[in-house]
Chains A and B, each alone.
Chain A
């Protein structure tokens, strides 16, 4: 008879029958019944209804029956808390049993019953068991503390179990030590700051001793715990390494990987010239290779970790390329990982071998794998620069042999991958005279002539968007060498809207490139694509890019050429690498889920209320600095970002060519804010060229964004008080920067300031702020460094003000009052632009004599005169004059003509430009909106009039009344109205009318805005 009999049921109703059996007098029958209940439980049937009957069987001297009842209790106690209390007495009694097995069993089971009431009764027996004379009971009790902590953490702390548990680390029995470590680690996970595992040289020594004697599982716990320790100096580090190394020969792969983690971490502290360092490196390779001969699941986890190790220390496995060669019957997840590591290990020495393998893989059946193999060839070309040509010819060989597959319908698929890889190769190696041209001449050369032709012929059979985009890129990039480039690209335009965004963007760029290279033949084409992108597309990315190209092309084709056909940055292998700080953190987490997913541990782990960031210890030349570098970062101390930053900062520095001051070696304590003194100098001149140079796409992006332009012309918007979404190096969403430049209206504040609101939306602390302005129209520049008093912690917002002066370099901006700003911190550089009210530039000595005013007014040609209306402003002339005075706009004279007050005013800009205005105020005249269709007819006519109008102010007054005829009609089209705001308000008859004269006509618009803001405020 087997246990399967327990699954058979009778018609009477299973539960009913079981109940009867459980209450039977015969021991045997009882036991059988409990077994049946357990059997039902294992397959997920609900047998909780039998709770009282099963618990009744608990009082028995039959150990098997007892165990079975316990099994049942653990599963169902939660659903029947009141009934579970019934069991407490038996538990307490069992905890006193002379047999250690029973004592341990009782305390173990009690801990598994997740009922609050029971846990109260658990405390006393648990305390006894933690000090039991039998180590088996002690080690079981240690785990029980972790269980109890999970149910009621407060209780565990109050009862002092944590201290008892810490004492167990010094237990004489290694198994007890291991379990205590495991329990503490689990508890520590939910208490990141509790400092439970207080590691010091003494406790480390105990752990290392226990390590040799405990079970394999215990070894894993101890090794994982050791990995959290930071040795004081390289000698201690070496001695720990020496004692951990034997674990590399353990049969349990988890032990091996945990040992690798400890070694990888502590190695960091060893001086590289030490003999032992080299020995250790050599010792690490064989166990890693051995992991690859294990079961595929183990292999997968091992490979993911090896991927990290190879990135950190490529020297360990550089001779082991062959073990990563893919076997035909490896599971696909193993194949893909092996491939990735092969690329990472590829070097000039083994590239021939690798390419031969990759080519072999490209003939396999699995499509995903083939694809990845082909792409790997592209990546190899970038990794091993010298092999680019070889890689290209391997790819082209593939294309040619695959060319025979047309009938099978697999050509597009396979073509797409070489095409993608070719893109990779060419992009990666693009430089003016670099190997890319070689690569391309290979493509076009006599040997492969047919290939490029085949590729082009099959352009529309490429169904993968990525491949289409890649081919379009190739056609655009080498348009001058492909005769029918225009035809090829034109053929894509027909179905433009059906393409994916990726392809659309690429097509837009390719056609613009083509136009810049062959302007004469392709004008029509470029117009077509620009209108498709800007007018018919709903995609903001596409539209924006379209607008940018359009503006570029229409304003300055030479500049456009510089932007669009700019030299491309070299793609290096780094693009595929994990970011260094993350890599360091992951190395500290080898063997964990984080290392399998290559994501920071904090992004994982359900319920972890906080994860300590681990990082590699810093190699200390002298012992003294290592003291302050304790990465465990004591309890409550904010995680020290300063020490992590250097590598990142350096990276950024390299990226932007900024002259960053090297971070000081001895990192300042995080609390004491390190003010970047002379932050402006920190950024150096690199930024100027970056932002000022119009050939840089980023600059164009900021100035020419259509969204910003229209906002400017709007009737209401004058000063963008906060600009969000800074343009930044990919980290824009991490950091919200609201900026407004200006001064409070109405009261002149002598030092001009820029008010900014900085919000940290990233996960880490931001510090080391510095600011830099691009050259601008009036030479605005920061008068001092950006004062951010403390590092900005996540989600914190602070307001800072920055004093400004006007002695900076000058460059005309569009619009005139546009200011481009770069804010740097330890994370990244963030760019944004804003428009400042020009009034901040009006100087106090702008007042002039009446005669001078008159003469100057006449002197300035009439073409320079601009007229504006200000609506919805109900001020009389005196109030207006006062308000404007606050902005350093001085009223020179005032007169009244036909019920209108005319104010004559003057102001002077910081660069000496004078602006004269005539402000006409007419009280009690409401503003009307107009019929848009009619309005649209006016602009051209009206624009001719201004001077005439001025001569006939009385006539002007006729307009409003005429317009008054249409109010009802007007109101029907509010939505249309909104479409023409800029045109509209120009021709509205309004109570305030400003005529502006200035030699520099460009400032008119800005001055007007300033007027409007001042008067309406």
Chain B
């Protein structure tokens, strides 16, 4: 099981270590540092590194490497999932997961880590249960603690820990009972030179914020549940009911949680909401190159495309780029050769474009690689897959909750090859 955990910052210092079994010398991280040195980019450090006596499994989140040390055969995914849970918990407790935040709350962090694993076995990883065991630091509580001498450690065994619904604590009370659901879809696509789609898929999630009194039992039904053939549920969802009726039936956890995530594969027809017209060319023997890019909406069902951001890694030979945009701001970093253009909203009447020339290093020949263009965007009030929630019903409680649903589409890894 998980033996130890080291937190390493971007400059390669270990700023926190925690051991769940015997103490492992921090020199074991030298193997990690070696791998880190070999990797060209921080994100290229391999996630599993063997050392003579241990294995190091690491994830990089918020520019911190979480390096877990294991000694025996442990499923690596188990370790990675757990590390993710650690990151989520920190973020949940401290708002951000940064080196500073962790250092500022080192004792809470230590208590949390101790509570999450016992002898390397996960103990309590549900945020609700943890919060009952160790109360998150807030300014108010710190003040109260200082004055009254009370602690932020729960004295009682969390109720949810062993119940059939471990994700929900009992005795929840709200004056305003509300349940909000966000359907967020990310579209991953690769578009080739000519504008045709090579692959496109949708990663969707339904995040919920449920603040309901008591033990509500909810059902959520969809207009078109057929779309959801590849889903992962929160443990609260009753799988049998879904299999039989295609209805989500569940007792929700209290507060924020991810109800389900789903995947609409490339085999379904996926609508592409934007198009790009581009012409990036270099002439043989000339030190100049032309750059011309135009964006336009496509298949958006009438919704506006917002927060558009275009970035492209220009060839290494490019020295400067002399470009003008019809809207938004653009920058070119001559060191990393990264061109980024913050477009904002696309106006279908007046399509945004970025035109101009690029200067090559004197004497350099025509660059060989074709820069690929990454696009980010957001479309409100639409789920690009067409998924629609039909209705939400509540059983088991008498009051009438306030219900809300929101849709959004975002670009995930949306790439256009040139």
Contact = CB atoms under 8 A, between A and B. Distances in A.
Q: Do A and B form a real pair?
A: yes
Contacts of A325: 190, 198-199
A146 to B, nearest CB: 6
Contacts of B164: 213
Interface residues of B, number: 104
Interface string A165-209: 000000001010001001100100100000000000000000000
Nearest to A326: B190
Interface residues of chain B: helix, strand, loop or mixed (majority): mixed
A63 B151 contact: yes
A597 B50 contact: yes
Contacts of B333: none
A400 to B, nearest CB: 13
B34 interface: no
Interface in A360-375: 360, 363-366
B157 A293 contact: no
A111 B73 CA distance: 22
A363 B370 contact: yes
Interface string A117-149: 000000000000000001110001001101100
B395 interface: no
B28 to A, nearest CB: 12
Nearest to A589: B73
Contact of A71 (B82, B114, B119): B114
A650 interface: no
B368 A363 contact: yes
Given A216-B235, A593-B73, A402 B22 contact: no
B121 A39 contact: no
A407 B365 contact: yes
A333 interface: yes
Interface in A206-225: 213, 215-217, 220, 224
Contact of A100 (B46, B84, B157, B316): B157
A62 interface: yes
Contacts of A410: 368
B232 A290 contact: yes
B26 interface: yes
Interface in B146-162: 149, 151-157, 161-162
Interface in A76-110: 78, 99-101, 104, 108
A952 B365 CA distance: 89
Given A257-B75, A363-B368, A593-B76, A108 B118 contact: yes
A498 interface: no
Interface stretch (A603-611, A615-623, A807-815, A853-861): A603-611
Contact of A331 (B15, B44, B126, B266): B44
Contacts of B351: none
A297 B59 contact: yes
Contacts of B43: 296, 331
A605 B368 contact: no
B397 interface: no
Given A39-B106, A331-B41, A606-B53, A215 B162 contact: no
B111 A67 contact: yes
B117 to A, nearest CB: 10
Contact of A322 (B19, B126, B266, B369): B266
Nearest to A138: B162
A62 B151 contact: yes
Interface stretch (A2-10, A539-547, A561-569, A980-988): A2-10
Given A182-B121, A253-B77, A296-B43, A63 B23 contact: no
Interface residues of A, number: 111
Interface stretch (A298-306, A462-470, A766-774): A298-306
Nearest to B26: A44
Contacts of B18: 42
B110 interface: yes
Interface string B377-418: 000000000000000000000000000000000000101010
A403 to B, nearest CB: 11
B44 A333 contact: yes
A828 to B, nearest CB: 29
Interface string B38-71: 0111011011101001110111100000000001
Contacts of B368: 363, 402, 404-405, 408, 410
Contacts of B123: 140
B374 interface: yes
Contacts of A183: 121
B98 interface: no
B59 A295 contact: yes
Interface stretch (A243-251, A489-497, A912-920): A243-251
Interface in B253-270: 258, 260-261, 263, 265-267
Interface string B185-219: 00010100000001101010000000000000000
Interface string A315-348: 0000110110101110111000000000000000
A698 interface: no
Contacts of B82: 217
B303 interface: no
B105 A217 contact: no
Contact of B75 (A173, A246, A323, A592): A592
A99 B106 contact: no
A35 B235 contact: no
B413 A254 contact: no
A537 to B, nearest CB: 34
Nearest to B417: A360
A363 B192 CA distance: 14
Contact of A593 (B48, B188, B260): B48
B46 A300 contact: yes
A38 interface: yes
A65 B107 CA distance: 11
A75 interface: yes
Given A63-B151, A216-B235, A596 B105 contact: no
Contacts of B155: 63, 99, 101
A4 B232 contact: no
A97 B26 CA distance: 37
B290 interface: no
A245 B44 CA distance: 34
A289 B201 CA distance: 11
A742 interface: no
A607 B198 CA distance: 48
B225 interface: no
Interface in B273-328: 316
Contacts of A289: 230, 263, 265
Contacts of A75: 19, 23
A250 B57 CA distance: 22
Interface of B: 1, 14-23, 26, 39-41, 43-44, 46-48, 50, 53-55, 57-60, 71-78, 80-82, 84, 103-111, 114, 118-119, 121-123, 125-126, 142, 149, 151-157, 161-162, 164, 166, 188, 190, 198-199, 201, 203, 229-235, 239-240, 243, 258, 260-261, 263, 265-267, 316, 365-366, 368-370, 372, 374, 413, 415, 417
Interface of A: 1-4, 6-7, 27-28, 35, 38-39, 42-44, 62-65, 67-68, 71, 74-75, 78, 99-101, 104, 108, 111-112, 114, 134-136, 140, 143-144, 146-147, 150, 173, 175, 179, 182-183, 186, 189, 213, 215-217, 220, 224, 246, 249-254, 256-258, 286-287, 289-290, 293, 295-298, 300-302, 319-320, 322-323, 325, 327-329, 331-333, 357, 360, 363-366, 402, 404-405, 407-408, 410, 591-594, 596-597, 601, 604-608
Given A182-B121, A365-B369, 12 more contacts: A42-B17, A62-B151, A143-B119, A182-B1, A189-B72, A224-B75, A293-B203, A332-B41, A332-B44, A333-B46, A593-B74, A596-B76
23 contacts: A4-B103, A6-B106, A42-B109, A42-B110, A44-B17, A104-B157, A112-B21, A182-B121, A189-B72, A215-B235, A254-B78, A254-B81, A286-B265, A287-B230, A296-B43, A297-B58, A301-B48, A323-B199, A365-B369, A408-B365, A591-B76, A597-B50, A606-B54
- For the complex of A and B, the 3 pairs showing the least CB-CB separation, nearest first, are A286-B230, A2-B104, A64-B151
